[in-house]
Homo-oligomer: A and B are copies of this chain.
């Protein structure tokens, strides 16, 4: 059964410490006071379990200890993991997180960025689908996966390296003809580089490849059509497929099953992201794992340091390959 109790106020702390309210306020705001006073206030804060109202404190010091985080939604397991990791990084630094879902809506994103700016957050971390996002000069903003130009720092996986790694792993596992499947935004963004890395590795290894690239609005049936077109005499034209996400890889495995094509015996499949069943069980497929914790730490470091001019405009963090049952190793 929960107890109800009163929240201690700054006044209670002053009474307990036997000092004025002004003294408590100074200690709380880091303004120097006599050592004995400071100790008395700190002891009272501890005894009463008083928590500093950083909300009010924020306005005074023009720091709010608050960072706004914006991603399209929390339904996608990759976004959810990313926000979870960013939240842990912020908490460890005593910062609060305001969370906004943007629903892939460019206008909504612009609106939310402006709102956050005016609410004086200390920074904004955004995974944006708005290529024309306007950002105030006053605000510290870090972008995930979309490079806006040198003035806005961007954190991303090494998508190019991941594309290369996927092609290399498939060939290492014996594949002779590869395919790359992609559904996604037409906007230039970092994940586009997965394809470029894949092609570059295929060409370096002199391995033939086939591409099927469609935009967000294309129904999944386009991939079913593609697979059927490339299915002749009970055999697929390719024996290795790299899918742009684990989610697409999962759907392709299910479609191939209905066609009687076995994974990984007949065709090996590699996804991208590193999504696990129910967040913490086995991997959903063999995959290129994004370093989510490292990306979160980089975003938080960069957004709080505000070293916009000094720092790299694009930070690409290393990915890794993980076996998840849809390849031979």
A275 contacts B278, CB within 8 Å?
yes
Chain B residues, Cβ within 8 Å of A29: none
* Docked complex Cα distance between A258 and B278 (Å): 20
A291 CB within 8 Å of chain B: no
Decide: A87 near B114, CB < 8 A? Known: A2-B148, A80-B77: no
B87 contacts A137, CB within 8 Å?
no
A152 CB within 8 Å of chain B: yes
Tell me how many residues of A have a C-beta within 8 Å of chain B: 68
Chain B residues, Cβ within 8 Å of A247: 277-278, 281
Decide: A87 near B59, CB < 8 A? Known: A77-B279, A149-B2: no
Chain copies in complex: 2
* Interface residue from B53, B120, B277 paired with A120 (Cβ < 8 Å): B53
* Interface residue from B74, B118, B246 paired with A80 (Cβ < 8 Å): B74
Binds B, one of A91-99, A166-174, A236-244: A91-99
Chain A residues 250 to 270 lying within 8 A of chain B, measured CB to CB, are: 250-251, 254
A74 contacts B64, CB within 8 Å?
no
With CB as the reference atom, state the residue of chain B lying closest to A74.
B84
A137 contacts B4, CB within 8 Å?
yes
Chain B residues, Cβ within 8 Å of A135: 2-5
With CB as the reference atom, state the residue of chain B lying closest to A5.
B134
Chain B residues, Cβ within 8 Å of A50: 118
A193 CB within 8 Å of chain B: no
Q: Produce 1/0 per residue, A187-216, CB < 8 A to B.
A: 000000000000000000000000000000
Q: How far is the CB of A264 from chain B (nearest CB, A)?
A: 16
Q: How far is the CB of A38 from chain B (nearest CB, A)?
A: 20
Chain B residues, Cβ within 8 Å of A53: 118-120
B118 contacts A52, CB within 8 Å?
yes
Q: How far is the CB of A303 from chain B (nearest CB, A)?
A: 15
B114 contacts A7, CB within 8 Å?
yes
Q: How far is the CB of A136 from chain B (nearest CB, A)?
A: 4
Q: Produce 1/0 per residue, A73-92, CB < 8 A to B.
A: 11111001101100110010
* Docked complex Cα distance between A76 and B276 (Å): 10
Q: How far is the CB of A202 from chain B (nearest CB, A)?
A: 27
Interface residue ranges, A against B (CB under 8 Å) = 1-7, 49-56, 58-59, 64, 66, 73-77, 80-81, 83-84, 87-88, 91, 96-101, 114-115, 117-120, 132-139, 148-149, 151-152, 246-247, 250-251, 254, 275, 277-282, 284
- The 6 A-B pairs with the shortest beta carbon distances in the complex, nearest first, are A75-B279, A74-B84, A80-B80, A247-B278, A2-B148, A51-B118
A–B complex contacts, Cβ < 8 Å, 9 sampled: A2-B148, A4-B134, A4-B136, A5-B137, A55-B120, A74-B81, A80-B80, A87-B101, A275-B278
Supply 4 further A-B pairs (C-beta < 8 A) apart from A2-B151, A74-B74.
A1-B148, A4-B136, A51-B119, A55-B58
